[in-house]
Amino acid sequence: MFGLSTGALIVLLLTILFGFYMAWTIGANDVANSMGTVFGSKALPLKKIILIAVLFEFLGAFLVGAHVTNTLKSGIVEPEPFQDPAITSGDQGVYLFTAGMLAVLLAASLWVTLATYKRLPISTSQSIVGAVAGFGATSILLGDIPPSSLVLPTLLKISLGWVLSPVFGGVVSFFIFFSIKKFIFESDKLEKRAERANLLFIFLVVFILLLAGLSGGLKNLRTSVECLLPGTFIELVFEDFLVKVLFVALISLLSLLGYTLVKMWYGRRRKREMAPLERVESLFGGLLVLTACYVAFAHGANDVANAIGPVAAIVQILAKGEITDTVAIPAWILVLGGIGIVIGVSTWGYRVMETIGKKITKITPTRGFSASFGAASSVLFCSLLGIPVSTSQIIVGAVIGVGMAGGIAAIDLRVIRNIIVSWVFTIPVSAVTTAGVYLLFRAIALNIM
């Protein structure tokens, strides 16, 4: 259909440009969410935070990411009507669909860019969902597809998950930090209690992160593992929940044993002249970095491929001239996304990190750990219940929850208000912006047919 015509080359170049822009916004906003607590707690300097974020996001996307994804994000709009001959004639529907995908990429990226400029942590996936909904609604109003193509129950289910996400994260993180505060900081045996709590949390962190990954926190982990280890017991681990729990518990105990041996070998030399409070915070600093690395890895595995899904959809159309429900994501598109993420984190990533790590509430290693671990635990809980969630919003809710453990005066209500307002406006603004951009691209597409 498109062949190697000038129009096809222009579409391909725009797709690569907009896809790179989308990946840049992911790096500048979403990735910064996962590392904001590390930045605010000063557990690591900014350069190391950026390096770790880039590494784990890229590894998550490339190793465990979705190499096949939905053509249209989360099944909100059905793509089949765009090439139904009873609705559109010839290649018209395919042209319109391509124009819509370009509009989705550009419009969603523009909104995330504005939010990042304002230092507001939002969900890139939420922006994509709003953009896809806007594209679908506009197509329906123009008569390009039937009203049944817009799947409202799916959109409502996803929206409900976004409402619950920060609540879950906030409640869990509140109780984690409240427990640390009550049983460690308010104890007259500060260091002794901290040592015991550290051992407990090492076990819990490894247990929760592994269980989360095996239970859907890393959606494509099973496929990747079974490709590497075909015909092994690993299939039983994924299928039987009890076996999964026992397997994860064993790994967690081995990790705790390894930590204890390392500590016995090196620990005494590092104890030196640290103040008791400083030592307690340092114990939780490593756990904070470990948890944040998992959040970044999970985000790369689950969200990056979805965000660049429209790029893969357009590339498939250019190559095959057809629209399908699912589309393969070539390695070069994942690499394109990875490079965009690297530049996004390296350039504007600090803006959202400052909001998460410094402006909502004061973040220390114990507070940051409580927020990150609470977020990871919430993702596991929601995955087991089948509730779609936003990791970005869970992180924000977790930080607010940690702040609330110190009383309402410990959080900046003005910053929280601005963040919530940006969340409320994400879907409508992305949808309206997409409608405007799509009308322009649609007119161009119809004129060149």
Q: What does the chain come to in residues?
A: 449
Average pLDDT, integer, range 155-164: 81
Q: What integer pLDDT is reported at residue 2 of this predicted model? A: 47
pLDDT tens column, 427-443: 999 999 999 999 999 99
The whole model's pTM is what? 0.85
Taking Cα atoms as reference points, which of 423, 425, 426 lies closest to residue 394?
423
Q: What integer pLDDT is reported at residue 397 of this predicted model? A: 93
CA atoms within 13 A on the CB side of 122: 34
| Cα(212)–Cα(206) distance, integer angstroms | 10
Average pLDDT value for the chain: 82
| Residue 267 token pair | 């620990």
pLDDT tens column, 12-35: 999 999 999 998 998 899 877 778
pLDDT tens column, 249-278: 898 898 888 877 777 766 555 555 667 777
Question: Do residues 333 and 308 lie in contact, with contact meaning Cβ atoms separated by under 8 Å?
Answer: yes
pLDDT tens column, 331-390: 788 788 878 888 888 899 889 999 999 999 999 999 999 998 888 888 777 766 766 677
pLDDT tens column, 171-194: 999 999 998 888 888 888 887 888
Taking Cα atoms as reference points, which of 366, 381, 374, 367 lies closest to residue 398?
374
Average pLDDT, integer, range 209-218: 68
Classify 71 as helix, strand or coil: coil
| Cα(402)–Cα(393) distance, integer angstroms | 14
Average pLDDT, integer, range 145-168: 84
Question: Do residues 352 and 28 lie in contact, with contact meaning Cβ atoms separated by under 8 Å?
Answer: yes
Confidence band of 103 (pLDDT split at 50, 70, 90): very high
Higher-pLDDT residue of 303 and 339 is 339
